Amino acid sequence: MSTGDAAARAFQDVFGREPETTASAPGRVNLLGEHTDYHEGYVLPATIPQRTHATIAARSDRVVRAWSSGAGDRDGVEQYALGSESRGRGWLDYVQGLTAALAARQIALPGFDLHLVSTVPIGGGVSSSAALEISVLRALRSRFALPLDDVALARIGRAAENDFVGAPVGIMDQMASSLGRGGEALFLDTRTLAVERIPLPAAIELMVIDSGVAHQHAGGEYAIRRRESFEAAAQLGVPFLRDADVGMLGAVERLAPVLGRRARHVITENQRVLEAVAALRAGDADTMGRLMNESHASMRDDYETSTPEIDVLVEIARAQEGVYGARLTGGGFGGAIAAIVRAGAAANLGARVAQAYTARTGRRAAVIVPSGAHFLKSRGHDPSPGPPAS
């Protein structure tokens, strides 16, 4: 049975009627460009195979009924009225945020029934929230003929997280989920939203491993880092750290130590993305790996978003023959690491790294890429959409 057929049958089981539209969207891994998107900088994400599927059918009233496969039975159906969205309802806030964002843009919708199922790991730093947002928006666009292109979907998804959920994320996750394609890196200028698709060299393969330490973006340390970085930008006399290049690092050193570290990370990370794009175009895996290693050091020491577990996972990965480079991916404070490895070696390397990590930390790592099956087996997968996992 295809994924679409399974989703249609599940929808009918829950809502007792035929679905009208099914759409999906992928999670993403970020190769380089961490904490640069909210400073209108450069990012370099790629999609992962795991996806969120949204199946809908229109209603004749203004009620939205939503069900996640993690709820288990029909008693798990949540509902609200359009125009009466209210925060604090867990995963449903992402759906409510989307309908509120559409209404703010004068895009009218009738009510609808929604079924969600996802294989994107939650809390793993691979953007389960953006996959939810884009899959739902794609389904709504298809069913109701909404005049929205893929960039508009990304903007609305980000607005839902920023304005309703309260997660101060940039637009990278939604752009990657909405525009990304398998086998490519998406070079994105988050100021202009200009995109270039860069094929991943045939000689390398992605490896993504979840540390087992979940993270979230709505508040906490992520928001603190963001605030500190904008304070640094203001003291440097620029609105965004995108406007401060490596030629300003001397001025950065004169800032208070914490603000200087935050600014140095964003400025040098933007430069690393530009160098990584050139490396990918040239098929230069060694340079790409070095840049990923440098990026991790910058996030660990300057932006201070890593954790001891993540550092151990990166260390173990880098020690393996065939690994060019590895780094924390996503907003930090847990989540996953991304590595580029010799083509054909990722599955064996991932299993070896995960086993060594468990032996050292007692935590169960999970290989997300190249095989989602490792995640399902090692960690016990709850496919219900959850908190931000950018």
Which member of 93, 173, 210, 284 is catalytic? 173
Q: What share of the chain is helix, strand, coil (3-state, %, to 5)?
A: 45, 20, 30
For residue 58, what are the β-bridge partners?
112
Looking at residue 317, its amino acid is A
Neighbours of 198 (CB within 10 A): 16
What single string gives the DSSP state of each residue in 343-360?
A: TT-HHHHHHHHHHHHHHH
For residue 43, what are the β-bridge partners?
188
User: 149 to each of 32, 137, 189, how far by Cα in Å?
Assistant: 26, 11, 18
Neighbours of 154 (CB within 10 A): 26
Please give the Cα distance from 101 to 106 (Å, whole number).
9
Please give the Cα distance from 56 to 67 (Å, whole number).
10
**Catalytic-residue membership of 302:** no
User: Which amino acids are annotated catalytic?
Assistant: 173
